[in-house]
Structure 1
C-alpha cells in the first residue's frame, strides 16, 4: 500500500472537500481518502498495482481542482 499527499489549490468551501473525497473514493485501488480543508491537501492510501499517483492527480483535476504537487511514499 502506498500513500500519496497532494497539495491542492486553496479550497474555498467544505463541499469542495467532499467532491474530491467522493471522486477519489470511487477509484478501484483507493483504500482511504482524507482531504484536509485548512491545509488544502488530500491524503490517499492506494494500491499501486491498481492505480497510480498520476492517475489520482488526473481524477482530482477532472473534478475541477488544480493539484500543485504530489508526494508519494
Structure 2
C-alpha cells in the first residue's frame, strides 16, 4: 500500500482509493456528505505531494 492510499483510506468518508502512478491520478470513492475532493487534495498535499487539480467525476 502506498503512503497516499493509506492516508486517504483513513480519511472520513473514503470507501475505496487507488493511486495510478503511471497516469498521475488518484481514483477515490467517497461519501460526499462526509468529505469532498478538496479535502482529499489537502491530505495529499500534507504528505508533501503536489496536486494539479481535483476534478470529480460522478460514477
Distance 1:37 1:72 in 2: 18
Indicate the structure whose relative CO is greater, using CA pairs within 8 Å and at least 6 residues apart: 1
Offset of residue 70 of structure 1: 1.4
Moved over 4 A (4+): none
Please list every run of 5 or more consecutive structure 1 residues that lacks an aligned counterpart in the other structure.
Answer: 1-16
Please list every run of 5 or more consecutive structure 2 residues that lacks an aligned counterpart in the other structure.
Answer: none
Say whether 1:66 aligns with 2:50. yes
Distance 1:48 1:61 in 2: 20
Which of 57, 60, 69 aligns to 2:41? It is: 57
Say whether 1:41 aligns with 2:25. yes
- 2:10 is matched with 26
- Count of matched residue pairs: 57
Offset of residue 18 of structure 1: 0.2
